[in-house]
Amino acid sequence: MTVEAQSSAVYSPPERLTNPEGREKPWVSSMAQYEELYKESLEKPAEFWTRMATETLTWIKPFSQVTQGSLKAGNMAWFPDGQLNVSYNCVDRWAAQDPSRVAFVYEADEPGQASQVTYGELLDKVCGVANVLHSFGLRKGDTVAIYMPMIPEAAVAMLACARLGLVHTVVFAGFSSSSLAERVIDARARVVITADEGLRGSRPIATKKIVDEALKSCPEVEKVLVYRRTGNESVAFNASRDVWWHEAVAAQRPYCPPVPVSAEDPLFLLYTSGSTGKPKGVVHTSGGYLLGAALTLKYVFDIHDNDVFCCTADIGWITGHSYVVYGPLALGSTSVIFESVPTYPDASRYWQLVQDHKITQFYTAPTAIRALRRHGDEYVKRCDLSSLRVIGSVGEPINPDAWTWYNDVVGGGRCAVVDTYWQTETGSHVISPLPGATPSKPGSATFPFFGIELAILDPTTGAELEGNDISGVLAIKRPWPSMARTIAGDHKRFLDTYLNPYPGYYFAGDGASRDADGYYWIRGRVDDVINVSGHRMSTAEVESALIGHHAVAESAVVGAPDDLTGQAICAFVTLKDGFDANDELKTELVKEVRTRIGPIATPKILILVDELPKTRSGKIIRRILRKVVAGEADQLGDLSTLSDPSILDMLVRVVTAAL
Ligand code: WT7
């Protein structure tokens, strides 16, 4: 199989990085230096990781062993006898050096209301909340659910858990009450931390109300800690269970000692969609994860003292965990927390943010880049973006057109663009350019990060494809520090999903190619996962939400190509006898998905059909639906298993009418 050429342009690292004029040189400033470090990371891993882990983190008890276990056995551990405390690493050491250093810049929903949290203030806030959690009886290993808007207190809640060795599970505050309940129950959380309301684009979000609804089905939850964000007095308060954040903190002593944990103790669970209906709680550890987040941020975004880093992801996703909270703070850097949306009050909000806070590195998703590009260059050009050095992209393949616009218009041709490939399960970047070193090709995530040994496998035989100019499925050949260790309560599922499909390899679930020059190109998911605006949705999860509606007999959900969101959710539904296909019912079904999962799962296209394409044994053939919605009905491939070929004409007709 040859690799189709996507874009022939190669962009060298910009002058601004290679010739930094008075600024510090990039951490890695040539391909030769990258190759040397990369080679060391693979050939002398114990030396490499010992140096990185001791330079980057402060250990309470130093580790004597770097790594143990294997991908084959699924028992990986890093720095297993080392002890540390994550909140100490992220807060105390910087507060001790300089309490006035800024940890967070908080850009609130309404423009003009920005504020700062210094490391000294952060230490007090984290200690206060940690003491409250301790007073609730929570001890090391207990789980706490966090359902909060994008405000500094969300990070404070995470760090307060880390201070006590509690395991947090942040649930994106756009998820519905039933999705929240499902996660709270699976994680066995006894405490939920939330806010009265959220604000996005001046619209209030009924955060606490959603928690109240969710907790009707979570009898194990004893306490709800509520941060007052808007102060709306009509928000319900259940005095036997709810505790106001400000009142509880005021009752506590302002210092809380950090609890030592093992490097392998879990730091958090984060639920992500897989190819079956039930979201999985991916488990990340304290030592390896923190090291991965800190190191990738340092090298991939070339973070130096006095930089202001801004990642626009919500803390409800792994990107927010690693690059809003843990990575920046582990480096003692300044991180921007943005509460609002990129188009409020208008489409220059991100760029205004860069100008106002003199942001040096900016990190967002292709879907936002494409959406803002549609608004025109004017919104970018009216702002002074001269502080920027590195601009990043994450979440889905970035099309070369969007890359070029990002580079030319946002970066002004002066910045390095880093297309970072990684996953919830990898914890931190695994493939990315390094801004001062890597010549980039738009649309390619380029080369592996230190310690990441990549392989491209033949999907059918599992054989590793050697050499360049090849395509297959992406795999990683050895463990790395920030990789997920298990799925909460279901280690077998962890093994079956990632490690057993190709024994000896971590299977990422993405198709990939290595071109003639050795660059990696990610081709998208090869499983039943849809990537909508950089958010992973499981087709099975949407299908089961639809089937939950009393009128639905069957459903099949596939991803349809979408210019803005990358992929859009397209649902095919058959109805039970006695129900009429009409627009009202369609609207009701879309609403059903929104209420069961959340607005991010909203089907963009919902098509009522009489029949779905099936094999003779009755299995739905989603591949056919995928091809039809992609306008590739002429490339359906082998149809010998299709039980009723006459249904194809009908499908093409209804899809054409619906699109
Ligand atoms: C999936 C992981 C951790 C990032 C946020 C999403 C896709 C992610 C890229 C990229 C092409 C990408 C993959 C991956 N993906 N980054 N730079 N180029 N595809 O995290 O929800 O765990 O999704 O996002 O398909 O498997 P996630």
* Least confidently predicted of 43-52, 67-76, 113-122, 276-285: 276-285
157-171, 337-351, 521-535: least confident range: 521-535
Considering only CA atoms, which of 581, 576, 608, 606 is closest in space to residue 591?
606
For tokens 């649309």, name the residue.
Answer: 443
Q: At what angle do helices 647-658 and 622-629 cross, to 10 degrees?
A: 40
Question: What's the confidence (pLDDT) of residue 654?
Answer: 92
Q: How many residues does the chain have?
A: 659
- pLDDT of 417 > 50? The answer is yes
Does residue 353's CB lie within 6 angstroms of at least one atom of ligand 1? Answer: no
Residue whose token pair is 């910087």: 94
Tell me, in angstroms, the distance from the centre of ligand 1 to residue 352's CA.
27
- 545-599 pLDDT per residue, tens: 999 999 999 999 999 999 999 999 999 999 999 999 999 999 999 999 999 999 9
SS3 37: helix
CA–CA distance, 297 with 17 (Å, rounded to integer): 16
**Beta carbons of 232 and 198 less than 8 angstroms apart:** no
| Predicted pLDDT at 273 | 85
- Let me know: does 119 contact 98? Beta carbons within 8 Å: yes
Alpha-carbon distance 519 to 134, whole Å?
A: 49
pLDDT at 4 over 60: no
- pLDDT for 7: 56
As a whole number of Å, the CA-based R_g of the chain is 24
Q: Which residue has the higher pLDDT, 659 or 216?
A: 216
Is 536 near ligand 1, meaning CB less than 6 Å away? yes
Q: Are strands 605-608 and 566-575 parallel, antiparallel or unpaired?
A: parallel
Question: Does the C-beta of 314 come closer than 6 Å to ligand 1?
Answer: no
pLDDT for res 1: 36
Q: Is 177 in the pocket of ligand 1 (CB under 6 A)?
A: no
User: Could you report the per-residue pLDDT of 418-471, keeping only the tens digit for each?
Assistant: 999 999 999 999 999 999 999 999 999 999 999 999 999 999 999 999 999 999
Please report where in the chains the tokens 């690292």 appear, as a residue. Answer: 13
Beta bridge pairs of residue 68: 77
Angstrom distance (rounded) from CA 123 to CA 107: 20
Closest CA to 106 of 337, 448, 374: 337
Query: Which phi-psi region, left, alpha or beta, contains residue 578 (left: φ > 0; alpha: ψ -120 to 50)?
Result: left
Ligand 1 centre from 412 Cα, in Å? 26
Buried b (16+ CB within 10 A) or exposed e, 160-174: bbbbbbbbbbbbbbb
Is residue 421 lining ligand 1, measured as CB closer than 6 Å?
A: yes
CB atoms within 10 A of CB 500: 14
Per-residue pLDDT tens over the stretch 371-382: 999 999 999 999
Establish whether residue 411 lines the binding site of ligand 1, counting it when its CB lies within 6 angstroms of any ligand atom: no
Q: Is the CB of 318 under 6 A from ligand 1?
A: yes
Are the C-beta atoms of residues 393 and 419 closer than 8 Å to each other?
Answer: yes
Q: What's the token pair of residue 588?
A: 């009701």
Share of the chain above pLDDT 90, in %: 91
Average pLDDT over residues 41-53: 98
Give the range among 154-163, 227-236, 406-415, 612-621 with minimum mean pLDDT: 612-621
Ranges 339-348, 469-478, 520-529, 634-643: which has the least confidence: 634-643
* Predicted TM-score of the model (pTM): 0.95
Nearest residue CA, atom 2 of ligand 1?
423
Q: Which residues contact 112 (CB under 8 A, 6 or more apart)?
A: none
For residue 217, the SS3 value is coil
pLDDT at 579: 95
DSSP bridge pairs for 192: 145, 224
Non-local (6+) Cβ contacts of 388 within 8 A are 354, 359, 360, 361, 362, 410, 411, 412, 414, 415
Measure the CA–CA gap between 202 and 570, rounded to whole angstroms: 30
Query: Cβ contacts of residue 478 below 8 Å, gap of 6+?
Result: 42, 71, 451, 453
Q: In whole angstroms, what separates CA 370 from the centre of its chain? A: 19
Compute, in angstroms, the gap from residue 508 CA to the centroid of ligand 1: 10
pLDDT band for 6, please (50, 70, 90 cuts): low
Measured in Å, residue 165 CA sits from the centre of ligand 1 at 29
pLDDT tens digits, one per residue of 299-336 = 999 999 999 999 999 999 999 999 999 999 999 999 99
ipTM above 0.90, yes or no: yes
Task: Provide mean pLDDT across the span 16-23.
Answer: 88
Give the Å distance between the CA of 642 and the centre of ligand 1: 32
| CA-to-CA separations, 574 to 102, 134, 372, 608, 628, in angstroms, rounded | 56, 51, 37, 6, 17
506 sits in the region (left: phi over 0; alpha: psi -120 to 50; else beta) called beta
Q: End-to-end alpha-carbon separation of the chain, Å?
A: 32
pLDDT category, 2, cuts 50, 70, 90?
very low
Q: What is the mean pLDDT of residues 41-61?
A: 98
How sure is the predictor about 276, in pLDDT bands with cuts at 50, 70 and 90? confident
Of 62-66, 168-172, 642-646, the one with minimum mean pLDDT is 642-646
Question: Helices 287-300 and 45-56, interaxial angle, to 10°?
Answer: 90
- Give the pLDDT confidence of 497-552 residue by residue, as tens digits: 999 999 999 999 999 999 999 999 999 899 889 999 999 999 989 999 999 999 99
Ligand 1 atom closest to residue 525's alpha carbon, by position in its atom list = 25
Average pLDDT, the chain: 96
